[in-house]
Amino acid sequence: MFAVAYGLWKQPIDANIFGIQANYQGQLRIPFACHVRYPISTVPLDVSFHQFAQLPAELQLRVLQFCDKPTLFRLMQTSSFIRREAMKLFFADPETWYCVDGDWLKEGGHPTDGIHDIDFLRRIERLSIELSSITAPQWKDEHIRNLWRRVQCLFPLAKYVMLVDTYRNYSEDRHLKNWSIASGPSQPEKRFCQLCPQNISVFLSILHGPFYGRLERSLWRRVSIQEDSNETQELDQCESHPGPSIIVPHKPFRGRVGTLLKIREEGWAITDQQTALEVFQNAAVERHHFHERHEPFGCPAPDCDAWFERPEEYTTHMATSPLTHPKIVSVPEPYQSLFTDAKKRLEQQELLHVERLESYVQWIGEWGSEQQKLAEKELLHELEQDSLHVQEETLIFTRMWFDHMYPWQCVESTKEYIQEVKTRAKSE
């Protein structure tokens, strides 16, 4: 969790953290269901306004402009007029960025390989693409242009695109302790932005900081510079970075393929929610000691004499310390019940997950068996026939699809994981 965002301790730590996810770097991601749910403290009253549709159209539009995102989302389920206008406002929100997997786009962005709701993608105006290999040597101009063409095809309304470089190489130094990640964009990152279509405003989000320290993100935007008769494109650093991106809603999970996709995604979601809880635990500790007060404290880890005088020091320490530190976080008393409830929810989710996983593993059979080959044929037939997966495109199927989707290629370790979760649930 070496790239946890700064300032989380300033935000309220309440039941709204349920469901939020964080990647292995500790950066938060908000599932769409959390994005459109009402905050716990502002749940609307159960009232109705039947006369709304009788108001003049201009008054209806004026009212919609004051609605928050959860309300707009619910209005999108009503009459055609209100749905259309609410949808415009909902997707035009300047603070909302929807994130998708850049590796999926790199491989062609085919509906068969992805889990995103394709119809939803077509409405996105602000898109965040998370790429772990921007600086890799295989990215030639042709490959970059192909990725941008795929973006324009899948996201026809995208006006703003943020490339999020999730991994950057460290600059070389004779002494390892002095290694660091450069604070400015690299040439490959600049090339990605230069080749972006001109009708799209492109941004670049990059990590920078010391090798053994907590990293930060900076945001850069492509700008055109006119010098005499020549126009060049450069990247200009922005003053602030957007908040957590929204995870695009999934396409419906149905059939055997849907069950397979659901198992895979809920496994990742549980892991990412566990990481997010660690992030919020650290924020809760800092908020308890430094929000409207100043109470320095020491690290609760055994044999660690670190002392924290200011906000962010504790989170930085936990993000860059040995892996044993996050496991012994002592949550302040005002937050104990909140995190106890959150952990119980996750345990229940994981138990349901392994029950589905166990049932599916039994259906698949042993790797390489005749049962497994028959199961593959059934999955392939469903992929070919169900429009949910092909989306009016020719099915592109390779051996990699099965290899990538199976969470149980190592059958024994999968069975051990299932048994471990079931045993833990019984003991509690």
Helix axes 411-427, 333-364, angle to 10 degrees: 140
255 CB-near residues (< 8 Å, 6+ apart): 382, 386
Q: How confident is the model at residue 358 (pLDDT cuts 50, 70, 90)?
A: confident
Residue 405's pLDDT is 57
Residue 255: burial class (beta carbons within 10 Å; 0-12, 13-18, 19+): middle
Is the pLDDT assigned to residue 181 strictly greater than 80? no
What average pLDDT does the chain have? 85
Say which range, 36-50, 75-89, 111-125, 277-291, has the weakest mean pLDDT: 36-50
Please identify which residue in the block is written with the tokens 């470089």: 165
User: Average pLDDT in the 389-407 region?
Assistant: 56
Is the pLDDT assigned to residue 409 strictly greater than 60? no
Tell me how far the alpha carbon of residue 418 is from its chain's centroid.
26
Q: How confident is the model at residue 229 (pLDDT cuts 50, 70, 90)?
A: confident
User: Average pLDDT in the 216-232 region?
Assistant: 84
Residue 78's pLDDT is 83
Q: pLDDT tens-digit profile of 156-166?
A: 999 999 999 88
Is the pLDDT assigned to residue 205 strictly greater than 60? yes
Say which range, 73-87, 119-133, 407-421, has the weakest mean pLDDT: 407-421
Q: Alpha-carbon distance 423 to 428, whole Å? A: 9
User: Average pLDDT in the 387-408 region?
Assistant: 57
215 or 245, which is more confident: 245
Is the pLDDT assigned to residue 46 strictly greater than 80? no
User: Average pLDDT in the 362-391 region?
Assistant: 79
Say which range, 10-19, 46-55, 94-103, 237-246, has the weakest mean pLDDT: 46-55
Q: Alpha-carbon distance 98 to 19, whole Å? A: 17
Residue 307's DSSP bridge partners are: 298
Residue 44: burial class (beta carbons within 10 Å; 0-12, 13-18, 19+): exposed
Q: How confident is the model at residue 410 (pLDDT cuts 50, 70, 90)?
A: low
Residue 177's pLDDT is 47
Helix axes 313-320, 255-290, angle to 10 degrees: 140
- In contact, 77 and 83? CB cutoff 8 Å: yes
Q: Alpha-carbon distance 289 to 310, whole Å? A: 9
Neighbour tally for 212: CB within 10 Å: 12
| Percent of the residues in the chain that have a pLDDT greater than 70, as a whole number | 86
Is the pLDDT assigned to residue 413 strictly greater than 90? no
Q: How confident is the model at residue 43 (pLDDT cuts 50, 70, 90)?
A: low
Neighbour tally for 343: CB within 10 Å: 13
Please tell me the pTM assigned to this model: 0.87
Q: How confident is the model at residue 172 (pLDDT cuts 50, 70, 90)?
A: very low
User: Average pLDDT in the 191-217 region?
Assistant: 90
Which amino acid is it at 348? Answer: Q
296 phi, psi to nearest 5 deg:
-55, 150
Residue 343's pLDDT is 93
**Most confident of the ranges 101-115, 145-159, 329-343:** 145-159
332 CB-near residues (< 8 Å, 6+ apart): 284, 285, 288
Neighbour tally for 48: CB within 10 Å: 6
Nearest 10 degrees: Cα torsion 228, 229, 235, 238: 60
Neighbour tally for 228: CB within 10 Å: 5
**Segments making up each domain of the chain, as ranges:** 8-247, 255-427
Q: How confident is the model at residue 129 (pLDDT cuts 50, 70, 90)?
A: very high
Q: Alpha-carbon distance 100 to 247, whole Å? A: 7
SS3 283: helix
Q: Give Cα separations from 334 to 14, 288, 300, 348 (angstroms).
A: 10, 8, 17, 24
- Identify the DSSP state of 37: S
Q: Alpha-carbon distance 402 to 371, whole Å? A: 15
SS3 368: coil
249 phi, psi to nearest 5 deg:
-60, 150
Residue 114's pLDDT is 79
Residue 176's pLDDT is 43
Q: How confident is the model at residue 93 (pLDDT cuts 50, 70, 90)?
A: very high
Angle (nearest 5°) at CA 45 between 44 and 50: 100
Residue 223's DSSP bridge partners are: 234
Residue 247's DSSP bridge partners are: 31, 99
